[in-house]
Structure 1
Amino acid sequence: MSSDWRVVTVEDIAAPYPTALATGPFGSAISSKYFVNSGVPVIRGSNLSAKISTRLIDDGLVFLSPEKAEEFQRSMVKRGDLVFTCWGTIKLWTELVARLATAAPQIKPQKPWPQHWLNNTIGRAGFNLNPTASYRDDRLGVEVYIHHAESKKMYQTLLAQRTSIEQALGFDLDWQELPDAHACRIATWRQDSPIEDEAQWGAYLDWFVQRIVKMNAVFRPVIQALA
């Protein structure tokens, strides 16, 4: 390494106050019912660019009222702060899209973004079948994410079919109504799966493809038939 360079850690360059190193929440973790037309902007994955020269993509910003934003004060970004996003997931999602194009061309996820999930449709507005990756929990997931106008009704209708759905899948699901949010989630998890361990990515991608293909085959006709 050149003598003009020196090695530092995040702690070395963090501001001295106690909350200088903060995490999240992801913008998607804040219910859309709190979004307003103006106020305090929420930085989501789609507002962060993979290009070093682009600091922030301001198209599609959403806002919270100042009062609501106070609830997330520890995660406020201040002038001069460094914002780190899930850079590793861009590569992971890019490889997953390529793997699906070969193994399951009927499944066409959207363009990968630096966020903890990959958008993927499942044949009906208000529903997604998204792979997810959590750095904090060392956990991968595939979830049916329900953000329909009548999400709670749709969730309950699916929940009534839980036994037949899980029998068709061959594995159990984590059913989350999320009573304090508009959306609902039905997920399968792969625990003890740190994203940093790229030596395991082959196994991770195999798992993602298997679960996405199976859940797409089982859930798609059921979701399309919902009244």
Structure 2
Amino acid sequence: MQDTSPEAPGSPSVGATPDGESAAGEQPVKPVIRAAAAKRANASVIGMIIALALSIGAFLPVVLMNPSPKSDGYRPDINVSAIAQNAEGVAGFTPVTPETGDTFRSNYARWESGSGSGVATWEVGYLTPKESFIGLVQTRQANPTWLLQQTKNAPVTGTRTAGGRDWQLRDTGKGEKSMVLDYRGTTVILTGPAQLEEFSVLAAAVVKSLEGNPAATVSPSATPAS
């Protein structure tokens, strides 16, 4: 006798599995990207690649023209004596050019007319053997206010002998220090974070240069030609 009773509620229908697959084992239909959408997506990716390539091409010449410094640091070859000779005619004194061999390297040398401070100066920067720095300033127009500015308001902490002369020692207590010498008509200030031993070596070379130069007697005039 044929069973005509209704199916129990919630029971799966004939020909279908509980997870939605057909009885024949057919897999669910996977979504397919239309050709137009795929073309637009590819176009966006290609556009990004082109933009990136253009950006690299724009910055590459700048990088090539400005290479990274070498591991031993940038050490320009400054002819201090030649620049000093150019400044001598207007400085009112012979600028010091301390001879330190290859131990100290200069990274700038210049004559400053003092248009802002009112004190004309001869300035040289030195890289020390221990990769520190000492700045040299020489003038025949020193005054107390200018001196405090040059030494960063550091108090006098004693004296230090170098080159047979007693230099005034000033120390900020924060690494920066200065050695000051009034000799043969000019004032020389050495300032920087270098060790005192390196200060003494440079100071001795400064004294030797001062003793080999004539004392300052001529009033300064205009700035030298560049």
TM-score range, shorter chain: under 0.3
- Scaled by the length of structure 1, the TM-score of the pair is 0.25
- Scaled by the length of structure 2, the TM-score of the pair is 0.25
Higher relative contact order (CA 8 A, sep 6+): 2
Q: Which has the higher strand share?
A: 2
Q: Which has the higher helix share?
A: 1
